[in-house]
């Protein structure tokens, strides 16, 4: 059973082929055009998807050594994401399914981030908790089975990836700044500067306050020393990363305590963060958790995770028809 999956929700055009539950190819074309604008420009993202989608799909098929005739279903990201970007992948998938007479499978991008854990071993056991952290979302998800999951906590304003990217922008670092904060943080002192932690009820998060307090902190420091950023970049990045990771882990700890679940996973672009990965492993050891962290390749946006989600939907005969449209906002 061969599924071709297409991902185009943000600034990565990706295609993957899955056969009988195993990934055989995962091709990702990252759009570099956005760097000069300091963030993803939706119209440019759509145009870049149009340019990349055909070669990316062709390479995914040839890497997996399958032809279009060998396919049994076409899967695509329906949402959430940038509408224009999603439209490219959705239209492409619909046309291909129509032309080849194949069933179509719609996939929720955030559920797919969680299901990326089933691409490789070891796989989490049900029920497990997943902290899904990306540029657009911050969620704690309880997963009862591959297609039965519920969001038990989430951000009420910015996503944590956004907080990484926006603080990086204030430091004049290029987009996306998250990986650069991570890089500089490696040699800095995480306790050099402290920022107030938000007080949020239950399992919810807030990241807009930290961005504002960081902005005021920088303004004050720059007034006293115009070279403050250049002279202290490592300590600044380490401190901001330490604060953001702390906010995430505090709520994850609370979720594990309340649900009694000790199978804990992380997913999404920010799960590539080395500070989050090492602090989670440390905390897990202390609290007796089994911690699951995906390979870097499957943390950031990729079509392999879309194919994995589609695999479970295929087994349940969960198909959609040609009237399907992408959705910028999409619940589980």
Q: Does residue 42 interact with ligand KG4 by CB under 6 A?
A: no
Segment 119-178, which members bind ligand KG4 (CB under 6 A)? 134-136, 161, 164-165, 176, 178
**Numbers of helices and strands, H then E, in the chain:** 9, 10
Q: Does residue 134 interact with Zn ion by CB under 5 A?
A: yes
Integer angstrom CA distances of residue 83 from 21, 43, 87, 90, 142: 29, 10, 6, 10, 27
- Report how many residues bind ligand KG4 under the rule CB under 6 A: 18
Give the three-state DSSP class for 2: strand
Q: Does residue 182 interact with ligand KG4 by CB under 6 A?
A: yes
DSSP 205: B
- Closest to 26 measured CA to CA, from 292, 291, 274, 308: 308
Interface with Zn ion (CB under 5 A), residue from 184, 241, 301, 303 = 301
Query: What is the C-alpha separation between 330 and 80, in angstroms, rounded?
Result: 5
Strands 128-133 and 138-145: antiparallel
Q: Does residue 29 interact with ligand KG4 by CB under 6 A?
A: no
Is 273 annotated to bind a ligand? Reply is: yes
Q: Does residue 10 interact with ligand KG4 by CB under 6 A?
A: yes
Interface with ligand KG4 (CB under 6 A), residue from 300, 303, 307, 310 = 300
DSSP lists the bridge partners of residue 140 as 131, 153
Binding residues: 109, 113, 132-136, 165, 178, 182, 273, 301
Binding positions for ligand KG4, rule: CB under 6 A = 10, 134-136, 161, 164-165, 176, 178-179, 182, 268-270, 272-273, 300-301
Binding positions for Zn ion, rule: CB under 5 A = 134, 301
Binding residues for substrate: 132-136, 165, 178, 182, 273
């Amino acid at each position: 059973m061969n599924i071709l999956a297409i991902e185009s929700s943000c600034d990565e055009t990706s295609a993957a082929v899955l056969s009988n539950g195993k990934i055989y190819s995962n091709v990702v074309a990252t759009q570099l055009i956005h760097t000069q604008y300091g963030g993803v420009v939706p119209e440019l993202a759509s145009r870049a998807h149009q340019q990349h989608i055909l070669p990316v799909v062709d390479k995914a098929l040839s890497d997996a050594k399958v032809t279009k005739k060998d396919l049994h279903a076409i899967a695509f990201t329906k949402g959430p994401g940038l509408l224009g970007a999603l439209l490219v992948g959705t239209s492409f998938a619909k046309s291909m399914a129509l032309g080849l007479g194949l069933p179509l499978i719609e996939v929720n991008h955030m559920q797919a981030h969680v299901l990326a854990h089933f691409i490789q071993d070891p796989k989490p056991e049900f029920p497990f908790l997943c902290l899904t952290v990306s540029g657009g979302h911050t969620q704690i998800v309880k997963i009862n089975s591959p297609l039965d999951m519920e969001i038990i906590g989430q951000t009420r304003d910015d996503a944590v990836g956004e907080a990484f990217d926006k603080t990086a922008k204030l430091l004049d670092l290029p987009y996306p700044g998250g990986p650069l904060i991570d890089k500089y943080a490696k040699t800095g002192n995480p306790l050099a500067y402290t920022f107030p932690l938000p007080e949020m009820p239950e399992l919810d998060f807030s990241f807009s306050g930290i961005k504002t307090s960081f902005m005021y902190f920088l303004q004050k420091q720059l007034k006293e020393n115009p070279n403050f950023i250049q002279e202290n970049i490592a300590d600044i990045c380490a401190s901001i990363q330490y604060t953001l990771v702390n906010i995430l882990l505090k709520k994850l700890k609370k979720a594990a305590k309340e649900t009694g679940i000790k199978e804990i996973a992380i997913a999404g672009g920010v799960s590539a963060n080395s500070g989050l990965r090492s602090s989670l492993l440390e905390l897990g050891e202390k609290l007796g958790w089994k911690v699951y962290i995906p390979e870097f390749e499957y943390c950031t946006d990729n079509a392999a995770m879309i194919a994995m989600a589609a695999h479970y939907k295929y087994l349940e005969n969960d198909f959609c028809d040609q009237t399907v449209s992408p959705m910028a906002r999409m619940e589980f």
